[in-house]
Every structure is written in structure tokens, then in C-alpha cells.
Amino acid sequence: MWRANPTWGKPRIQAELRKIGIEVSDSTVRRYRPPPSGPPSQTWRSFLENHVRDIAALDFFVVPTVTFRVLYVLVVMSHDRRRIVHFNVTTSPSARWTAQQVVAAFPYKAAHRFLLHDRDTIFRGSFAQRVEAMGIEEARHSPALAVAESIL
């Protein structure tokens, strides 16, 4: 079963065997797993360490003003030195505006291979097209990863 379905994990193997009436323990399933065929893939932390010079990240944060207006601040940060590459403020961000800010952050060529951002809808459409045209690969992450990344 392991060889025929290499992407299945231990719980899936146990569930499939349970369907045909065979109850097996975790250790039994683990014992019959074939050894991995190649080297293990890198973890997220080792990816960051290996590509730190190629990674930039961007995100919005909100600033309420004294007059109760809401301002959206976009920050683009380079990971290698943790320095701010670009920032700008707007009252109504759009995908087109955000795409233009990426061009302003990297005006001459794609200085970074990867651009980290969350799964906000503003990072779709014209933004995604512009980033792809610049030769930058998007790496979307969940909010939980942003918290873990700030700990690193």
C-alpha cells in the first residue's frame, strides 16, 4: 500500500485497512513503511535561511487618524537585512495601486526572487500579473505563519 500510494500518511493507510476489516496499530504501519527514496525536502526555516537574500515581504497595516479616518500603510521589506525597501500610504488600496508600489520598490529589475504576502484578495488580479511579469515568484502564507515568522 505504501509503494502504490507514496503520498498517503499513516492515518490514511490505517483508514483504508479499517475499511476492509483490518485493525492495525501505529507502530505496525510504521514498521512496514519503505525507506524514503531520496533526501527529505527542506523545511520552511531552511528555505528561509537558504534564500534569505532572494526574499522580500509586503503587507498592509492600518493607522487610524485623529479625525477618525483610516489610512492603509503598505510596507515592503527585504529579509536579508530586515530593512524597509519601500512604503506608502493610501486611504483606499487597490490591486492596481499595490502593483504600482511593487514597481516603485524594485524599479530597475527584480532584486528578489520571492515575494511573501498573505492571502488577502488585494494581492490577486492586476497585482499578481504585474509581479509575475517582473519575474518574481509569489509565496502566499497564512496568518499563523506570519506570527511564526516574526518569532524567527
7-51 confidence digits (pLDDT tens): 888 899 999 999 999 999 989 888 888 877 777 778 878 877 888
pTM over 0.85: no
Q: Show the CA angle centred on residue 102, arms to residues 107 and 63, nearest 5°.
A: 130
d(CA 82, CA 48): 13
Name the more confident of 22 and 145.
Answer: 22
More confident residue, 46 or 95: 95
Q: At a CB cut-off of 8 Å and minimum separation 6, what does 67 contact?
A: none
Q: What percent of the chain has pLDDT over 90?
A: 38
Domains of the chain: 1-40 (no CATH), 45-151 (3.30.420.10)
